[in-house]
Each structure stands twice: as structure tokens, then as C-alpha cells.
Amino acid sequence: MDQFTLNLIVVGATFLLYIGIAIWARAGSTSEFYAAGRGVHPITNGMATAADWMSAASFISMAGLIAFLGYDASAYLMGWTGGYVLLALMLAPYLRKFGKYTVPEFIGDRFYSPTARMVAVVCLIVASVTYVIGQMTGVGVAFSRFLEVDNATGLYIGAGIVFLYAVLGGMKGITYTQVAQYVVLIIAYTIPAVFISLQLTGNPIPALGLFSEAKATGEPVLTTLNGMLADLGFQSYTEQHDTTLNMFLFTVSLMIGTAGLPHVIVRFFTVPKVADARYSAGWALVFIALLYLTAPAVGAMARMNLIATFYPNGTTGEAVALSDIQSNENLDWVRNWEKTGLLKFEDKNGDGRIQYVADADANELTVNRDIMVLANPEIANLPGWVIALVAAGGLAAALSTAAGLLLAISSAISHDLIKGQLNPNISERGELLAARISMAVAIAVATYLGLNPPGFAAQTVALAFGIAAASLFPALMMGIFVKRINNKGAVAGMLAGLIVTLVYIFLHKGWFFLPGTNSFSDSDPLLLSIKSTSFGSIGALINFIVAYVVSNATEEPPEEIQELVESIRIPKGAGAATAH
């Protein structure tokens, strides 16, 4: 059986599974559409949250960034995992106790202001749309290779699949679909990593293989990789090259952005009890760790295999011949990925060989970082079923998160905007219809923007984290822990954080609204060494300061609001034994 047919069978089977689950778990009420009827078991919810979380950025793009950036990319691992600890301890149980469906609804009620709710809707949509662009980028990358279509066609197919199971099933359908997607993606990520670790080091555990000796050299894997990169003029893999300030701010931005992302937070509204929200976050971290502990090994070994492909006799020998690329069946993967436009090579000097070197003028190979995980099994000549499984896993990762994000967007529009502001008397059936229509529109917009993303999937997602960190996270934290913050302070803080962060991103990158400016080159930071992906932490600080200053300069919140804040944080009956 040829590889294309095998891909169709494996990917098609998983899609049928997802759609079947969506039909089985179809939402019949707004409660089921928004919060799965609040009946999801903590372990089930933890697994669904992990799938919701481990998006195209984690599955497809993160290891690719680690492969090319090395130590500097470790901030992705630290920020994204640390954010879940923060979420479990500081936000999830309190938001679940409040008992609402959406993040804007909490902000609107806590700050007793329709305006605050609408500002939160705007913040949510901006962050979620930016995030979903990264998922659609991953969908296009995966489909373009494994279904042998162009990037745009792959994007349209993926959007159609999301439409079928997300619009139909709502949160209830998405939850159980994401459980299946987690199983698919973790198996798809782990199996090729085990094979490749065995090939290169003899160790079946990738995380340990990373620190084992490479069979080819007898030296540790990282030492071997550093030597290969040095021979080709690339920077050291294990040394820090980013500034400490930017790396710290980037890690913080990812961490608090994680805790402020609405599509993650809304998952904790689906469990029966407040305690279950904390358990769900803990289980999610366990399930996420299975992939995140493997990603550094996948990235390093993928880079080693890529270099070995183009320097079969070692990096001090000659580069691979162009004639071999065009005819050698072991290099089929190069020709296959070339068709997608995500890998390009050109014999600039006419010597009949393809040089892969750091010097931009002499380099003859261009590799999109987002292809590394998907191409890794092919580079390592693994069996066809493994290649098909990775295709299914990559698509599961991208589609699961896209569905969660689109649900957050549609909930904000139907529940917070239409029911909360425009038509409070709308029937439940009407609200459910509005939610499905708004999700369909969101899918169309996300697909359009996914055709022209501002960067690699993980980098685009990092911008979304910065936006969530600067706008929603401070409002949630102050809403739970600071009784003195009033509606004026919350609105001013959210607007200040959002606007300052967006302005910095636009000035730094140009972003995707300007024709021809969708490259994600590391241009010079505008402020000290702070890049646009790291600015969310500065935006969050501005949000906190503005909210605090404005709140203290204006009237205190009403007494009932202060009591509400107290009731969220302190368990019922606490202090009774001591009469306090």
C-alpha cells in the first residue's frame, strides 16, 4: 500500500471517530453547548484540556523551534507548563465557584458593568482569533503534505472538519472529541520519538536519549549536535543567545497568558464541583508533561537527522548531490516536502550539491520550522504507518485547539454580546442558533487569516498569549483577590494593557494587515531588548497599575460586590470555629 493511501485511511478513520463522537454527544441545550452540562469527570476534563492546550503550536511547531533555536526555545516549555500551575492554584477553582459560562460574564458581573463585559469580549476575540490563526497554519502544513494538496486547500479541508464537529457538538461534543484527539496525538508524538531515540542512541526513552551518547560519534547527543552546527557555522545549540531580560519577560508572558486564555479557562466551567476544577488542572499538567518532556529530544534529534540528510559523510565532508535528491528513494521526503513550498533548495553556485550552512548568501536550503515534527519520521525512514500516525496526530492537535478557541469566540458573541447586551430576552433555542452561526463565521474568518499568518505557528500563538496576558489575566486576578478594584479601574486597565500591547506588536512587526509584511524576522526591539512576543508581561504590568490607580481615585465598589469577592475566595463556613 502506498503512503498516500495509508495516510488517507489513518487520517480518515480518526476524522470519522471525531465526527461520530460529536453526533453522539450533540449539545441539546445552551448549558451543554457552553459547559457540557457541568458533568465532565476531572480526569476526562484534564485529558480534554490537555488536547485543547497541546495545539499545533505544541505538537507541530514547538519542537521545530527547539530544533533551530536550542536553549533559547526552552522558554516555551517553562512558560506554558508554569502557567498551568498558576491556573490551578490562583484561578480555576475560584472561577468555577463563581458559576458562570464565560470569562466576559465573570468580568461583567464582578465589575458590575456591561461595559467591562464588552471590553472583555473584545479582548477575548482579539486573543482567540490570533491564537486560532496559528492552529490554522498548522492545519495547512499537515494537510498540504499528507494529503498532497497545496497549503490553501489543506486549510479549507481542515476548516470543514472543524465546522462539522464543533458547530454540531458545542462544548459537550468538543470535550469528548478532544479526549479521543489526546489519545491520538500523544501516541503519534511518542512512537516516532521512541524509534528515533533508539536509532540514534539505543535508548528507548527520548527524554533520556537526549542525554545519552550518540551511536555515530560515541559522544553525548548535545555535544555531537553542537559540533555539527559549529562545522556549518551555526550558533551553539546549548548556549543562551537571547538576552536574559527578554527571555524572562517572554517566559512570564507565556505563563500569565496561559492563565488568562479564555478557551483554557472555560474548560474548568464543565466540571461538577469547585474541587474538581483544581483536580482537572493537575491532571491536565500530567497529560501535557508526557509530550513536553519528549519535545526537547524530538527537536534536537530532528536537527541532527536533517543535517545528516544533507551531509551523509559528516559535516566536514561534501554536501548531498542534487542528483541524489532528485533520484534517491531515501530522499523522497525532500521532494515530497518541496511540493508543499515549505522546503526549498537551489544550487546557487552550480556545483551540483545543496549546501546547508549558516551564511545566508551561501546557504542553498530553506526549511520551514513547522515541518520538522511531521517530516521527522520520513527523514528517519520509519515505517509508513508511523508517518500516517504522525499526520493524524498533528491534525488532531491543531483541530482540537481550533475547536476550543472557536467555541470561546462563539460563546462570547452569542452569550455575552447578543444575550447579554443586544437581546436579553432571546430564547434558549435562538441563543443556541446564534452560537452556531457565530462559530461558523469565526471559522471562516480564521481560515482567511490562516492563509496569511504572521509567522510560524508557535510564534503566532505566542502573540496571542501576550495579548491575553496584557488584557484578561490582570482583570481576572484582581477580580478574585482585590476587593477595591472597581468597574472604572477594570475597564481602564484592560483597555490600557490591550492597546499598548497591540501598538507595540504592530510597530515591531507590521503584522499581517499590511501586504508583504507577514515575515517573522527578529527585527530590532523597540524598547530595550523586548521583542513583541515578550511584551505581554509589560502590558500586564501596565494593566495592573492603571486599574489600581483609577480604582483608588474613584469610588469603592458596592458593598454587595465586595461581599461577592469575599465569598468566592473563602469557603462557606470558614472561621466559624473561632467565631471569625
Name the band, by pLDDT with cuts 50, 70 and 90, for residue 37. Answer: low
Range 101-116 average pLDDT: 88
The larger pLDDT score, comparing residue 62 to residue 172, is at 62
Q: Is residue 197 part of a domain?
A: yes
pLDDT in tens, 458-489: 567 778 889 999 999 999 999 999 999 999 99
Range 369-373 average pLDDT: 85
Number of domains observed in the structure of the chain: 1
Q: Is residue 123 part of a domain?
A: yes
Burial class (CB within 10 angstroms; exposed 0-12, middle 13-18, buried 19+) of 272? middle
Residue from 22, 54, 37, 323 nearest 187 by CA: 54
pLDDT in tens, 259-316: 888 777 777 777 788 778 888 888 888 898 888 999 999 999 999 999 999 999 999 9
**Using an 8 Å Cβ cutoff, are 389 and 6 in contact?**
no
In CATH, what number is assigned to the domain containing residue 178? Answer: 1.20.1730.10
Q: Could you give the residue ranges of the DSSP H alpha helices within 412-455?
A: 428-450
Residue from 200, 226, 196, 229 nearest 214 by CA: 200
Q: Residue 517 is placed in which grid cell?
A: 509584511
Q: Which residues contact 176 (CB under 8 A, 6 or more apart)?
A: 21, 24, 25, 44, 48
Q: Is residue 455 part of a domain?
A: no
The larger pLDDT score, comparing residue 570 to residue 196, is at 196
Type and span of the H or E element at 343: strand 343-345
Q: Is residue 244 part of a domain?
A: yes
Place of cell 535508548: 203
Prediction pTM value: 0.82
Look over the chain and give the mean of its residue pLDDT values, rounded to a whole number. 83
Q: Is residue 550 part of a domain?
A: no
Range 135-146 average pLDDT: 73
Q: Is residue 472 part of a domain?
A: no
Q: What is the pLDDT of residue 69?
A: 92
- Classify residue 34 by its DSSP letter: H
Host domain of residue 85? 3-302+383-450
Place of cell 509530550: 291
Name the band, by pLDDT with cuts 50, 70 and 90, for residue 548. Answer: very high
pLDDT in tens, 208-262: 999 999 998 999 999 999 999 999 999 999 999 889 999 999 999 999 998 888 7
Q: What is the pLDDT of residue 21?
A: 76
Name the band, by pLDDT with cuts 50, 70 and 90, for residue 578. Answer: very low
Residue from 216, 214, 189, 394 nearest 299 by CA: 189
When mean pLDDT is compared over 24-33, 206-215, 561-570, the highest value belongs to 206-215
Q: What is the pLDDT of residue 512?
A: 42
The values of phi and psi at residue 307, to 5°, are: -65, -40
Q: d(Cα 521, Cα 516) in Å, to the nearest integer?
A: 13
Start-to-end CA distance of the chain, whole Å, equals: 73
Q: What is the pLDDT of residue 170?
A: 57
Q: Is residue 339 part of a domain?
A: no
When mean pLDDT is compared over 50-54, 359-363, 396-400, the highest value belongs to 359-363
Would you give the distance in Å from CA 234 to the centre of its chain? 28
